Structure 1
């Protein structure tokens, strides 16, 4: 009598002579083959998924580097434009000497009293920060920035007036900065002085002495 080559069970006399396994072993082999095929497909799919993941990471990294480069280029472009505007402003700005002294040697002409006023608003965020600083104490950098900005504006306006009058110096300069309304609303800067023309030799001696 013939036996199954896998489990050793006796095979029926009427069984197909070409089969060396019993039905149970044939079924188990088929199940094992199907499981192995599924495992192979899963491994192949896992490799594809890993490859896609790596490609996505590479793409994200390339995008990140590209965005960083674009940000650096944009920052460099803005810095260059800011520097060019600053240089242009320095070239166009009148060469006016500013001093708080009232008695300056070399004054040839007193061209008159001049004054200028400028205001600066900080917006809602600055108002909020200034209010919190006023309540809890501390230093308000936003408010200080507004004060510096309005002081620069008022001095620029005063310098323009002096230049239009033919002056090359402002003596007796006084700058007063105050707050308009509640805390953080508006900052007012007032500047006053006397526009004068100083002889160049005296102005040069004064600058070298300082």
Structure 2
């Protein structure tokens, strides 16, 4: 399965379009992670715990997107867009959301002469 942000697949011919596929993953972040991330923000640097959570959410969303495309008969998803958001869930904690969408397609390799 090819996953790409581009509208075409170089060197391949798209023969079928199956429509838009999408997936959302929402992960709850705990108070300790929020506190540590806030401290990191004050002194500068990267929050490894949030980065790990976002990476996991992205991988889950892409896996679900791939599964949806496969059930339609696609062998690629083109024009993929990823959106990241932090949602304040109240009480001092937040949730992380990754939304992914693209167009499920079937391609065939072009013959080279």
Normalising by structure 1, we get a TM-score of 0.48
SS state at 1:188 partner: strand
- Give matches, 1:1-210, under 5 Å: 96-104=1-9, 105-181=12-88, 185-199=94-108, 201-202=109-110
Given that residues 120 and 187 in structure 1 are in contact (C-alpha distance below 8 angstroms), is that contact kept between their aligned partners in structure 2?
yes
Going by fraction, where is helix more abundant, 1 or 2?
Answer: 1
Equivalent pairs, count: 108
Deviations 1:115-160 (A, max 9, x none): 1111112322212211212233221101101110100011011011
User: Which segments of 5 or more consecutive residues in structure 2 lack a partner in the other structure?
Assistant: none
Q: Is the 8 A contact 1:120 1:149 kept in 2?
A: no
Larger Rg computed on CA atoms = 1
Segments of 5+ residues of structure 1 without an aligned counterpart are: 1-95, 206-210
1:60-81, CA deviations, whole angstroms, 9 ceiling, x for partnerless residues?
Answer: xxxxxxxxxxxxxxxxxxxxxx
Q: Hey, what's the Cα distance between the residues in 1 that align with 2:50 and 2:93?
A: 7
Output the aligned Cα RMSD.
2.1
Q: Which runs of 4+ in 1 moved over 3 A?
A: none
TM-score, with structure 2 as normaliser: 0.85
Structure number with higher relative contact order (C-alpha < 8 Å, ≥ 6 residues apart): 2
Q: Distance in 2 between matches of 1:124 and 1:157?
A: 28
Write the distance in 2 (CA, Å) between the matches of 1:100 and 1:150. Answer: 18
